[in-house]
Structure 1
Amino acid sequence: MDEVEVVVAHSERATLRVGDVFLKVDADQARVDVEVEMMALAPVPTPKVLWRRPPVLALAALPGTTLGRLGGPSTGSPAGWAAAGAAIRTLHEAPLPPRTGRAGRSIAALTTELDDECESLVTNSVLPADLVTRNRQVAEAALRPWAPAFTHGDLQIAHLFVDGDEVTGIIDWSEAGQGDALYDLATFTLGHEEHLDDVMAGYGSGIDLDVIHAWWSLRSLLAVRWLIEHGFDPFAPGCEIDVLRSRT
């Protein structure tokens, strides 16, 4: 029997790998419904659905490797990063899906969530007030009107696989839907600013760097408390706290 590898696990969901099969356990069946639907609509490579028996979704493993991970060294050639940018552009230019995704939250809702989170971070002494204030100012540039695109909504670097300079697949689509394209690009390059130019070379025009920087700050501010509460460490080198410090 193959060894069982715990890919990620927290109170909301868990992903296990057994040989060439990923088993996703999620008590929220609506979230799994979205994932299956969005993978079917996305014009980029996605994992093959092997079977589904709630609360488990079985997916075939993708060939290749990721380009790195948040808090770890980046890998892959500049051409590999550019290929990722081109694949993201293909997704963003696809016909719009029928639902709004995580990257499509309204400006009003996002502003309220951000202000509440900043207040909590300072009040509970999670982060210094000056660090929070500066990044809240930077984040303001992301709170603007945007044209809807087909977005992944959680396009972390660990969710895109390449083999050489070819994208072999993108995983974890439960947050996908209509949203701000620059949210995806910022999420993908979070903590790996040195490869932003490579991604831009593959993606093409239409990238506002101020908005990318704003999303780095905004996403990190919103993530810190959730990560701590779910057993992750945003204070690890290269992770969210270092991203926030880099903006100051």
Structure 2
Amino acid sequence: MSLDTFIEEYHRVFSRSSRTEYVPAVIKEAYNSVVIDVYGRKYIDFSSSASVVNTGYNNPKILGAVEKQLRRLIHYTHIYGFNEPALKLARKLISITGVVDGKVILGLSGSDANEGALFLSKAYNRRTYLLSYVNSFHGCTLMAAKASGIDLSRRVVRLLGEEGKTIFLPYPDCYRCPLGYTWSSCRLRCVEIVKEKIEELNGDVYGLIIEPIQGDGGIIPAPEEY
């Protein structure tokens, strides 16, 4: 099957709503940071395939652990019952975050994680507004889409009639400052804007969500001082 025919078949069977195409390559196998297409061409993958396999491809240590677990128990839900691997994972996650008496919710995606965080935050303090950032992307579920400042998400939210409860702030981009400052002269004016917005809303803010490195907005790291 030619590359063009393969891509045409993809378009025929997969919904466009669930895909964003970047690379016209049909990947067959991978190892470490290298992916190989059906023609044998090799590519170094700097994106870890959308940041979901950032341990590298087919790492022997991980393959060994996965194979060992698959032969013992593929799945037994921790929602209705109990299993030891889920408990070990939850303990590890809490130890990494350093949160005292932390609780874990296992999800399916970044959208899922952000949806849960936003839902819990809103339910906890019952306030009105969320602060987010221009050109941000936090997911495809409803609250995550509402929190996203990238154009496609805003169009989806407008269709749903959910506009108005998220306030979008300028992201701290020191390379192309949206406020027109240079790094030596700004004195972190972008931080003051957050404080001023919270005061303007009389503290009626249930959360602030930020990407430490803005992804879809252009791979922009916020400065450590921010």
Higher normalized helix content (fraction of residues):
1
Higher normalized strand content (fraction of residues):
1
Bigger radius of gyration among the two? 2
> What is the TM-score normalised by the length of structure 2?
0.25
Taking CA–CA contacts closer than 8 Å with sequence separation of 6 or more, which of the two structures ends up with the larger relative contact order? 1
